[in-house]
Structure 1
């Protein structure tokens, strides 16, 4: 069984990333139901819109119509809301423009969403690090954290069925959309499918600090503005290794992780609300 899905992709200056993202969607298995793809290009000053629209014919041939919105104003939440307003199907799969899905991910998500009860779902993230040894060390340790190895983290890709999408109206003007949506559901309502997706780690130490700081602010923002949602936060798994044991297993990775954590706490100037470091 499966359910009809709208795939929504917010994109801001994503040339070089949107192409492999869309190629992977084209190569995805059929879901057994209707699918549409919507790219919400917002505030783009590069050729993201043209690059995305060049895929229209191939998506039509697949039977998955592609719509590309050219939005003048930047901002991820505004882009998500614009996509939601025109989406035709009740089930929604939200995909970051720099993510590459595996061939079976969409079909597995659609199958899980085919339920009358509210369901949130994601896949198994594969953290890809390139460009510097520091990034690789940091990513290796970060991927060992319980947040990544247990539960349904949902960064980069998350999906909800029609009943679940009714949990909120428009996306609020906050930083962390994935945290907000994930915590809108209890752990029992969250499902992690076996299929994977590639999620790129930001390159180099300073960009990692910048983005990690933004992520921390985003989580704190959800806790402050939506305190009731925090009750749905995953507890620490009983089988999770304590930090000191993970540090002993990977001292170099831990050193990189600790350096970024320290850098986040240093004095800094303000930054844009959608900071990616690339």
Structure 2
């Protein structure tokens, strides 16, 4: 069902880097294609290193401009997307994140006001089909009260002035963490709009894979801190303070166990890109 939108057109751009996302790319793009075709925003999909049908599926979406790169590199895809897009502000969206066109426009419009340089929508976790221990981890995680940050939602947006803080995306694992650290708290905002939907991994192996990758990304962005990250203790304390009964206590134990396992696993040298494949099934 196409959303009913109003207001002026050419309000910004959406850039979607995609690596072998045939199982989810249609779900992500379908809500955004018609508004893009109507001119509300540009929609640029950068398929990088794909060996599946991601590009072919994306090209079937009206309004989507699809670019293909031989190299499998998210930073390269983001930079190419910036070269192709012409409008500002720009929203950078992971290919497995669901967001409505109305939420996209709310974020772009918030940045157009000019009082902040970076923003994102709120987000919620979709636990559907996940292992009970994975659900426990994410229930504990979502209880943590965080200051406004750009990372973790799979979507963030920048003004042209905000983007000029770094010029181009560096070759780092955690682009969202890198971008977040370019701005002071009063320069970024979480917009009051419909939340984006983050699909959790379905199984323990996949959860550990993305947690290890996250820790390596933190170590890259904060080299003086190390793979454990600078906020590990503070986060653990925040989770413990959120306990309010037996169920939340069990969730907290699962959270801490996964965090410790990921911390240990991140110390091992890994070849290749670790990601969750369990939630990327066709359909």
Shorter-chain TM-score bucket reads 0.7 to 0.9
Residue 50 of structure 2 is aligned to residue 44 of structure 1: yes
- State how far apart, in whole Å, the 2-side matches of 1:106 and 1:207 are: 28
The aligned residue for residue 244 of structure 1 is 240
> Which 4+ runs in 1 deviate beyond 3 A?
26-31, 115-118, 265-269
Q: Secondary structure at the match of 1:127?
A: strand
Relative to total residues, which structure has the larger strand share, 1 or 2? 1
The aligned residue for residue 96 of structure 1 is 94
TM-score in terms of structure 2 length: 0.82
- State how far apart, in whole Å, the 1-side matches of 2:49 and 2:216 are: 23
Residue 13 of structure 2 is aligned to residue 13 of structure 1: no
Unpaired segments ≥5 residues, structure 2: 1-6, 279-283
What pairs with 1:114-263 in structure 2 (closer than 5 Å)? 114-131=112-129, 132-147=131-146, 150-154=147-151, 155-195=153-193, 196-224=195-223, 242-249=238-245, 250-263=248-261
- State how far apart, in whole Å, the 2-side matches of 1:136 and 1:120 are: 30
The aligned residue for residue 63 of structure 1 is none
Question: After the TM superposition, which of the residue ranges 268-277 and 111-120 deviates more from structure 2?
Answer: 268-277
Q: Kindly state the Cα deviation for residue 85 of structure 1 after the two structures are TM-superposed.
A: 1.2
TM-score in terms of structure 1 length: 0.83
Q: Does the 8 Å CA contact 1:29/1:106 hold for their aligned counterparts?
A: no
Q: Kindly state the Cα deviation for residue 271 of structure 1 after the two structures are TM-superposed.
A: 3.8
**Aligned CA-pair RMSD:** 3.0
The aligned residue for residue 73 of structure 2 is 75
**What do the CA deviations read for 1:42-64 (whole angstroms, capped 9, x no partner)?**
111111000000113xx2xxxxx
- State how far apart, in whole Å, the 2-side matches of 1:202 and 1:172 are: 27
**What do the CA deviations read for 1:146-165 (whole angstroms, capped 9, x no partner)?**
33xx4134431100112211
What pairs with 1:256-271 in structure 2 (closer than 5 Å)? 256-267=254-265, 268-271=268-271
Change (3 A) 1:189 1:8: same
Q: Does the 8 Å CA contact 2:156/2:176 hold for their aligned counterparts?
A: yes
**What do the CA deviations read for 1:199-254 (whole angstroms, capped 9, x no partner)?**
1112211221121111011112111289xxx99x9xx79xxx84323244402211
